[in-house]
Homo-oligomer: A and B are copies of this chain.
Amino acid sequence: MVPTDSSYSSTGERPARRRRKEARPAELTAAALEHFVEKGYAATRLEDVAAQAGVSKGTLYLYFENKEALFRAVVEEGIVPVLAAAEEMLADFSGSSVDLLRRLLFGWWEQVGATRLAGVPKLIVAEAHNFPEVAQYYHDNVIVRGRSLVRRVLARGIERGEFRSLDVETAIDVIIAPLLMLVIWQSSLRFCGPEFVPENYLQTHFELLVRGLAAGEETPGIGVPDSERQGV
């Protein structure tokens, strides 16, 4: 995010030039992610990215063929490992499905939502049309696998009689949507004041979900609106 060696002396001369072949790519993609999320792909100037990473524009082109390659690297970096960890956690879990769902939601928040990775969904949403192949990559490696995680939790809960049976595929989307919206909000509209607490938001979402999924008696009024109901 910031050049590691930023020891300006008080006289204002620039920091000594350093050769750090290993560290450059990660510093550049980190800086690029920040700029892409903040300003969008097209409005991001590579010179600014390079400057934030503490190098010149020419150096950026030593490590990335062009702007699009940098964009691909930003997206492809560091997303998959998180999913792998979650998949493993889910495989050997023995508690209730409600607990499992809670773990999934809050684990996601800690591993993704509260980190710099939270900017990626906004980036994908904003640039999907301009980079269809990157969007496809994200779809196959993040969306499909993420949906699969939720699907397994729902199936488990239904099988064990903890959740009522419902349209699983659609429910997955409804469960994930507030999570995505949370990070998208945070990385675009910042005027959700200090009274907005992500943990409370997640907790409310979770509570609504658990009650909404719970097996039990029918809740009245869900099917056809009263106003459109014909006398029987």
Interface positions of A (Cβ within 8 A of B) = 38-43, 95-96, 98-99, 102-103, 122, 124-130, 135-136, 139, 143, 166-167, 169-171, 173-174, 177-178, 180-182, 184, 188-189, 191, 195-196, 200-201, 203-214, 219-222, 225-227
Contact = CB atoms under 8 A, between A and B. Distances in A.
A201 B174 contact: yes
A227 B126 CA distance: 40
Nearest to A94: B227
Nearest to A129: B38
A191 B129 contact: no
B209 A208 contact: yes
A219 B211 contact: yes
For the residues of A in contact with B, the DSSP-based class is helix
Most B Cβ at <10 Å: residue of A167, A181, A227: A181
Contacts of A39: 129-130
Contacts of A188: 124-126, 128-129, 135
A170 B207 CA distance: 12
Nearest to A101: B221
A104 B225 CA distance: 12
18 contacts: A40-B126, A95-B225, A98-B220, A98-B222, A103-B225, A124-B188, A126-B126, A135-B188, A167-B200, A170-B200, A173-B204, A174-B178, A174-B208, A177-B178, A177-B181, A208-B208, A210-B219, A211-B211
Contact of A125 (B126, B129, B209, B226): B126
A136 B190 CA distance: 10
A195 B177 CA distance: 18
B98 A189 contact: no
B204 A214 contact: no
